[in-house]
A and B are shown apart, each in its own frame.
Chain A
Amino acid sequence: MKGNSTDTYTITLDDDVMVHQIIERSTKIKTVGMKDPEELLSKIEDLHPIAVFIDIHLGTSRTGLEILPNLRTAWPFCPILVITGTPAEHTIVKALNSGADDFIRKPLIPDEVDARFKLRMADAAQKAAKEVVEFGDIVIDSAHRTVEGPLGKRFASPIEINLLACLANTEGAIVEKDALKMRCWGQIKVTDNALHRKLHAVRQLLKDVTHGVHIETKYGVGFYLKYHGQEQQLDAAS
């Protein structure tokens, strides 16, 4: 395609090569076309797309829905648009619940493909602008996966940083357990144990960088981030 740098590309996973071509032309962004979900999964760590288009019905043993959580985990901030030729609403809802950001219907309409793509790219840009989040006396940098506070700076795993950023983004409001799982793993099938282990790791990490910010548990509801710094300062002053 003309006018695009070689390192900017989308990925289109569809067993119909015509779809790759139509999406590339509609968005005017080069697309790396693939037909097999296994191929995409095997290359996932080497690929850095700006957006992903994925067909739900692939004519293979695996559906697009099944690999959505893997894509969401690998590319937490990348817009994922599912392509569906089946009008059934439950399929679309399932796709959105599995980590997709939007859907487009077949037959593809070039103007609609481009409009939805641009909309999701704009959303992603907004999210990226919030990649550095401040909460209390800590700074969470999702892009570099660091958390910095008065006691020091720590690196975090992708899931840990997502978890902390998700809690910080709500500015102290409670985040439900399933919402946290969806945001960090791209699915809600994750066990409560796995979530608690990650929360424990993040609590340890917080202790290394600050005494002021803690993760609080609202039993049966969810979790939230609390800043005790001001209370501590007042206590110290009195």
Chain B
Amino acid sequence: MGAAAKLLAEVPVIDAAKLQSIKDLGEPGDADGFFRDLLKLFFDRAPILLADIDKAQKAQDALQLERAAHAMKGTAGNLGAMQIMKIAEELEQMGRDGQLRGSDKLASELHLVYAATRKELERNWL
């Protein structure tokens, strides 16, 4: 089992209870578009942060990797996107420790997990 697979074992793509609590902040049926707007913000920001993570990882810039991964962890956490959070948290820790070995594989995995998360959100939550 690879490092990323181990990390994600038994971690759901989405924490449904958490995401429902956020969705409930809008009007019933999302009549005011709150939840839809929130997802749009996520879909706009996540690719930018993915690019920041890739850039920092390729440059072996530990500080920038820590910052970008921290931001990704936070924004994914808003929606209960657990697998993204988990990988971002690991990358953040690597950056904090200045130990970037294996960060390339995790960064690649993050792209796949983001794609799966987006698909799940669009298919089952919008």
Question: Using a CB–CB distance below 8 Å, which chain A residues touch chain B?
Answer: 15-19, 21-22, 25-26, 57, 59, 85-86, 106-111
Contact = CB atoms under 8 A, between A and B. Distances in A.
A214 B75 CA distance: 54
- Interface residue tally of chain B, by bracket? 20 to 34
A15 B21 CA distance: 22
Contact of B21 (A17, A21, A85, A111): A111
A16 B75 contact: yes
A16 B78 contact: yes
Nearest to B70: A57
B86 interface: no
A19 B38 CA distance: 10
Contact of A85 (B38, B73, B79): B73
Contacts of B70: 57, 59, 85-86
B78 A107 contact: yes
Given A16-B45, A18-B38, A18-B42, A107 B80 contact: yes
Given A85-B70, A109-B21, A110-B22, A21 B34 contact: yes
A25 B18 contact: no
A86 B89 CA distance: 10
Given A106-B77, A108-B78, A26 B41 contact: no
Contacts of A18: 38, 41-42, 45, 75, 78-79
A107 B25 contact: no
B24 to A, nearest CB: 8
16 contacts: A16-B71, A16-B74, A16-B78, A17-B41, A18-B78, A19-B78, A21-B38, A25-B25, A57-B67, A85-B73, A85-B74, A107-B74, A107-B78, A108-B78, A110-B21, A110-B22
B26 interface: yes
Contacts of A26: 25
B30 to A, nearest CB: 12
Given A15-B71, A16-B75, A17-B45, 17 more contacts: A17-B41, A18-B45, A18-B79, A19-B74, A21-B34, A22-B22, A22-B25, A22-B38, A25-B25, A26-B25, A57-B70, A106-B78, A107-B18, A110-B21, A110-B22, A110-B25, A111-B21
